[in-house]
Homo-oligomer: A and B are copies of this chain.
Amino acid sequence: MELLTIGELADRSGVATSALRFYETKGLIESERTNGNQRRYPRAALRRVSLVRAAQEVGLSLGEVAEALGTLPHDRTPTKNDWEKLSRSWRKRLDRQITELHALRNDLTDCIGCGCLSLKSCAIFNPGDAIAERGSGPRYLLGDEHIQPTA
């Protein structure tokens, strides 16, 4: 099997045919045509589709993916160097994202740990807001109003 039909590519990549045609209009993948005008994809298209999906995972829009792919040469097979540039920039983005998620995770853990009795220090629930207007003391999540009456 030299070339893939759009249906085969869809099956193998797990991406709907309609999405593949859509990707093609966006210049993300390319195809040859049969005499009867049907698309035929080289094996490389399968990797290309995976690349697109991977990039989406990383948080890139299709436009950004197209742009990134645009940095790869059209006239020749990409070299290791070509690829390294692309890959490095994505990895950077990935690293940043991982860092952010870790931070969020830690905040959540703190919130569980603290039982929300020390909301002052809770990053998630006090982002940029000048809190500490009521002095210290117990606070409740999602319903600040329940201040213990100074019994």
Contacts and interface: CB of A to CB of B under 8 A. Distances in A.
Contact of A14 (B47, B90, B115, B128): B128
Main DSSP-derived SS at the A contact region:
helix
Nearest to A125: B47
Contacts of A115: 80
A42 B145 contact: yes
When all copies of this chain in the complex are counted, the total is 2
A142 interface: yes
A133 B58 CA distance: 30
Contact of A94 (B58, B77, B83, B101): B101
Contact of A97 (B48, B88, B101, B144): B101
Given A98-B105, A128-B14, A77 B43 contact: no
Nearest to A81: B115
Contacts of A109: 91
A102 interface: yes
Contacts of A145: 42, 44, 77
Interface string A129-147: 1010100000011111110
5 contacts: A13-B129, A44-B142, A46-B125, A50-B125, A87-B108
